[in-house]
């Protein structure tokens, strides 16, 4: 098949999933064209059957807000025609699904066509899409898609609850990991070399937005370190980084917390971590938690949204209420103080991630979904 993929190319789970899906599809012989404003961050320089088409938003003094969605629609239309794409798969509804619908309308004017698939990832449904200035166009664009997927049961239910989308089936296809990449045995002990063999390493990876509650990460760590002197590695950057740094100083743990900033590759660091903290306000899935589990790192976080489908409370980690800093801290201490318990959780985390969320099985689900659009065509 010839497939166009549009996603946000910068850091973030939806861009990571879209890119890794595209790479896996190309591995299986499909031709994949990424259409977005920058090379996706997880896309290596060259891969057979993978192409990148940059969307350039022309500057003009009149445009206080350059119309990216229109430039994207025009580029989608052009790439579909030039390369004979059969489907456009949009990750994150706003504005990608809208641009794809415009591109398809333009194609239909000349007797051409393309199939549209939209994968919903999270705040396109739970926050941004709810804003009155986006709600009608989000609902419209989702409903105009030929196939709709959501990354968790939670997100599917939220989509139906808040947008209706009656009669437009939303299929759940969970996110995935490549077990060859997230492998505890594969990497040298970088963090142990830096922090020594006896200090547990707690880790958090995110884009430091309000929804991630990064100050709670620091507060949990400050409580944990009273019982188990460890270190906290904070990976990522975003609006709440300064607040988290300030919280670390206020709680007197700043010398035990390393803020590493944005890193494109996290698997080697996760392989050296002992516990992953994700105390989010809301999480439609929690790809970073899955990457941790696959690396044998138990997760302590909140029971908000789709995280419950990823972390099995009491087996691969622990889940508490949003803001329950004491609860998450004591769950973390229990795991870190009991090596047998930690080993069981770590082993269970690897097994569960590989069984339920392995790349091959999930990519096959997307491929099968694509094939339903071409009922008469041989596989
Ligand atoms: O929805 C967002 O805010 C952004 C998006 C992203 O690009 O990281 O995150 C969502 O999609 C990820 C990949 O499917 C999920 O793992 C995240 O849980 C989800 N974020 C939220 O629901 C807050």
Residue nearest ligand 1's atom 2 by CA: 123
Residues 200 and 155 in one domain: no
- Domain range for 220 is 184-356
Quick one: 16 and 161 in the same domain? Answer: yes
Indicate whether residue 286 lines ligand 1 (CB < 6 A): yes
CB of 284 closer than 6 angstroms to any ligand 1 atom: yes
Instruction: Report pLDDT digits (tens) over 5-49.
Output: 999 998 789 999 999 999 999 999 999 999 999 999 889 889 999
How far, in Å, CA of 293 to CA of 311, rounded?
A: 8
CA 121–ligand 1 middle distance (angstroms): 5
Measure the CA–CA gap between 65 and 358, rounded to whole angstroms: 40
Per-residue model confidence (pLDDT) at position 368: 97
CB of 121 closer than 6 angstroms to any ligand 1 atom: yes
42-85 confidence digits (pLDDT tens)? 898 899 999 999 999 988 888 888 999 999 999 999 999 999 99
Same-domain status, 237 and 341: yes
Ligand 1 neighbourhood includes 4 CB (under 6 angstroms): no
Q: Which atom of ligand 1 is nearest to the CA of 281?
A: 23
The rounded Å distance from CA 53 to ligand 1 centre is: 24
The secondary structure of residue 120, as a DSSP letter, is E
CA of 363 to the centre of ligand 1 (A): 19
Q: Are residues 202 and 144 part of one domain?
A: no
Q: Measured from the CA of 12, which atom of ligand 1 is nearest?
A: 8
- Taking each helix axis as running N to C, give the angle between helix 339-356 and helix 287-294, from 0 to 180 degrees, rounded to the nearest 10: 110
Segment 108-119, tens digit of pLDDT: 999 999 999 999
Q: Are both 138 and 251 inside the same structural domain?
A: no
Ligand 1 centre to CA of 284 (Å) is 6
- Answer yes or no: do 156 and 200 share one domain: no
| Ligand 1 touching residue 13 (CB < 6 A) | yes
Cα torsion 123, 121, 214, 184 to 10°: value is: 180
Residue 379 pLDDT > 70, yes or no? no
Give CA–CA dist 243/248, Å, rounded: 9
Does the CB atom of residue 40 touch ligand 1 within 6 A? no
pLDDT digits (tens, 9 = 90+) for 141-192: 999 999 999 999 999 999 999 998 778 899 999 999 999 999 999 998 777 7
The predicted model gives 365-377 an average pLDDT of: 93
Residue 378 resides in a domain: no
CB 342 within 8 A of CB 274: yes
Please identify, by atom number, the ligand 1 atom nearest to the C-alpha of residue 207: 8
150 and 201 together in one domain: no
Grade residue 378 by pLDDT with cuts at 50, 70 and 90.
low
Q: 291 lies in a domain?
A: yes
Task: State in Å: Cα 71 to ligand 1 middle.
Answer: 24
Residue 64 is encoded by which pair of tokens? 């206080």
- In this structure, is residue 262 part of a structural domain? yes
From ligand 1's centre to the CA of 169, what distance in Å? 21
CB 316 within 8 A of CB 351: no
Ligand 1 test: best mutation among 40, 118, 122, 153, most atoms within 8 Å of CB? 122
Task: Tell me: do 163 and 248 sit in the same domain.
Answer: no
What total number of domains does the chain contain? 2
pLDDT at 128: 83
Of 18, 338, 173, residue with least CA distance to 9 = 18
User: Does 237 reside within a domain?
Assistant: yes
Q: Is 93 a pocket residue for ligand 1 (Cβ < 6 Å)?
A: no
| Confidence tier at 126 by pLDDT (50, 70, 90) | confident
Ligand 1 atom closest to the CA of 283, numbered from 1: 22
Does residue 219 fall inside a structural domain? yes
Co-location of 61 and 108 in the same domain: yes
Residue 106 alpha carbon to ligand 1 centre in Å: 30
Both 157 and 215 in one domain: the answer is no
Tens-place pLDDT, residues 311-363? 999 999 999 999 999 999 999 999 999 999 999 999 999 999 999 999 999 99
Does the pLDDT value for residue 129 go beyond 90?
Answer: no
Q: Is residue 304 part of a domain?
A: yes
Q: Is 18 in the pocket of ligand 1 (CB under 6 A)?
A: no
Instruction: Name the residue with tokens 């082993």.
Output: 347
Question: What pLDDT score was predicted for residue 332?
Answer: 98
Residue range 267-275: average pLDDT? 95
Q: Are 98 and 135 in contact (CB under 8 A)?
A: no
9 C-beta closer than 6 A to ligand 1 = no
Tens digits of per-residue pLDDT, 241-260? Answer: 999 999 999 999 999 999 99
Percentage helix, strand, coil for the chain under 3-state DSSP, each rounded to 5: 45, 15, 40
Same domain, 11 and 137: yes
Residue 193, pLDDT above cutoff 80:
no
Q: Which atom of ligand 1 is nearest to the CA of 212?
A: 23
As a whole number, the mean pLDDT across the chain is: 95
Query: Domain holding 302: CATH number?
Result: 3.40.50.2000
> Does residue 376 fall inside a structural domain?
no
- Ligand 1 in reach of 211 Cβ (< 6 A): yes
Predicted pLDDT at 272: 93
Whether residue 377 lies inside any domain: the answer is no
Q: Which atom number of ligand 1 is nearest to the Cα of residue 123?
A: 1
Q: Are residues 126 and 251 in the same domain?
A: no
């Amino acid at each position: 098949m010839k497939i166009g993929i549009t996603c946000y190319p910068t850091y973030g789970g939806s861009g990571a999933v879209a890119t890794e899906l595209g790479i896996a599809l190309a591995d299986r012989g499909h031709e994949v064209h990424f259409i977005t404003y920058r090379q996706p961050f997880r896309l290596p320089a060259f891969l057979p059957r993978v192409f990148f088409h940059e969307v350039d938003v022309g500057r003009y003094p009149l445009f206080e807000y350059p119309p990216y969605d229109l430039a994207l629609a025009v580029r989608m239309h052009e790439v579909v025609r030039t390369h004979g794409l059969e489907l456009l798969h949009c990750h994150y509804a706003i504005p990608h699904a809208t641009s794809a619908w415009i591109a398809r309308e333009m194609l239909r004017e000349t007797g051409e066509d393309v199939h549209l698939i939209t994968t919903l990832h999270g705040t396109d449904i739970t926050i941004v899409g709810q804003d009155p200035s986006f709600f009608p166009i989000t609902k419209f664009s989702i409903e105009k898609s030929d196939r709709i997927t959501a990354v968790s049961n939670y997100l599917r239910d939220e989509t139906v609850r808040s947008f209706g989308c009656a009669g437009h089936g939303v299929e759940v296809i969970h996110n995935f990991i490549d077990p060859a990449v997230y492998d505890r045995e594969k990497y040298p002990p970088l963090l142990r070399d830096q922090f020594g063999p006896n200090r547990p390493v707690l880790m958090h990876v995110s884009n430091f937005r309000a929804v991630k509650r990064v100050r709670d990460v620091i507060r949990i760590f400050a409580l944990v370190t009273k019982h188990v002197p460890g270190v906290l590695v904070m990976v990522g950057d975003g609006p709440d980084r300064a607040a988290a740094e300030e919280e670390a100083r206020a709680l007197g743990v700043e010398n035990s917390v390393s803020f590493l900033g944005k890193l494109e590759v996290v698997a080697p660091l996760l392989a050296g971590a002992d516990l992953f903290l994700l105390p989010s306000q809301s999480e439609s899935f929690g790809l970073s938690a899955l990457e941790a589990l696959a690396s044998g790192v138990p997760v302590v976080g909140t029971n908000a949204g789709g995280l419950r489908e990823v972390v099995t409370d009491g087996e691969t980690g622990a889940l508490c209420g949003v803001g329950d800093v004491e609860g998450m801290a004591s769950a973390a201490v229990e795991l870190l103080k009991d090596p047998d318990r930690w080993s069981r959780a770590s082993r269970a985390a690897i097994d569960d991630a590989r069984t339920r969320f392995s790349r091959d099985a999930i990519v096959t689900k997307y491929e099968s979904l694509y094939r339903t659009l071409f009922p008469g065509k041989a596989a």
